[in-house]
Chains A and B, each alone.
Chain A
Amino acid sequence: DIVMTQTPSSQAVSAGEKVTMSCKSSQSLLYSENKKNYLAWYQQKPGQSPKLLISWASTRESGVPDRFIGSGSGTDFTLTISSVQAEDLAVYYCEQYYDTPYTFGAGTKLELK
């Protein structure tokens, strides 16, 4: 199974701050035939279902603000929020869909400083 490791587990932030969080996979998520990384990022707010933010490691979903930036390739990935807003306080999960079993990281919780 592919293990997804997210760091940090929690982070205290102030509005307007730039935030980065990491997701590392135990094996490469880069598929050689199409050069795509099979990695997605989700945002989950309390009491809500997860929301897809980014697919293919860096493709932002329609309607997702451009302050959310996904980057990385192979086994190392990053989600950056360029200027955190109050509504961004949530738990963020990465997920690999390279192979079954699909696996999620344990999440990074953004909290208010």
Chain B
Amino acid sequence: EVQLVESGGGLVQPGRSLKLSCLASGFTFSNYGMNWIRQAPGKGLEWVASISSSSSYIYYADTVKGRFTISRDNAKNTLYLQMTSLRSEDTALYYCARRNNNYGFAYWGQGTLVTVSS
């Protein structure tokens, strides 16, 4: 069974940094691209970043480009999101997600909440 477990969220002041992790299990992590998707409180879904299986291809939403860095450690089955220069508008539930063979986001974690506030 595919499992994605996010961690690392919390309350952080504007301008500070935070690093999220997503521990994957139930599949061969090194074979799949991975993604971060966020959802602000009471709002819709926003794709944040994607990384290919070998980290060769990385893409970001314009809203986080230059501030966030997606990375992975295939030996540890873990996906990361390093967030710097955090803003109040980055407050959201951050999901780790994986596409299936039909390319939809079939697998989601439970999310980790990031609150940016002074």
List chain A positions with a Cβ less than 8 A from chain B. 1, 38, 40, 42, 44, 49-52, 54-56, 59, 61, 91, 93, 95, 97, 100-107
Give the residue name and chain of the B residue nearest to A105 (CB): B44
Cα distance A97–B106 in the bound complex, in angstroms:
13
* Contact, CB under 8 Å: B105 / A50: yes
Chain B contact residues: over half helix, strand or loop, or mixed?
strand
Contact-residue bracket for chain B: 20 to 34
List chain B positions with a Cβ less than 8 A from chain A. 35, 44-47, 50, 59-62, 95, 99-100, 102-106, 108-111
* Contact, CB under 8 Å: A93 / B45: yes
Given A49-B110, A101-B61, A102-B50: A107 in contact with B104 (beta carbons within 8 A): no
* Contact, CB under 8 Å: A49 / B100: no
Give the residue name and chain of the A residue nearest to B106 (CB): A52
Give me the 6 closest cross-chain CB pairs, A-B, nearest first.
A55-B102, A49-B108, A55-B104, A40-B104, A102-B47, A52-B104
Cα distance A59–B103 in the bound complex, in angstroms:
11
Which of B59, B95, B105 has the most chain A CB atoms inside 10 A of its CB?
Answer: B105
* Contact, CB under 8 Å: B50 / A59: no
* Contact, CB under 8 Å: B108 / A101: no
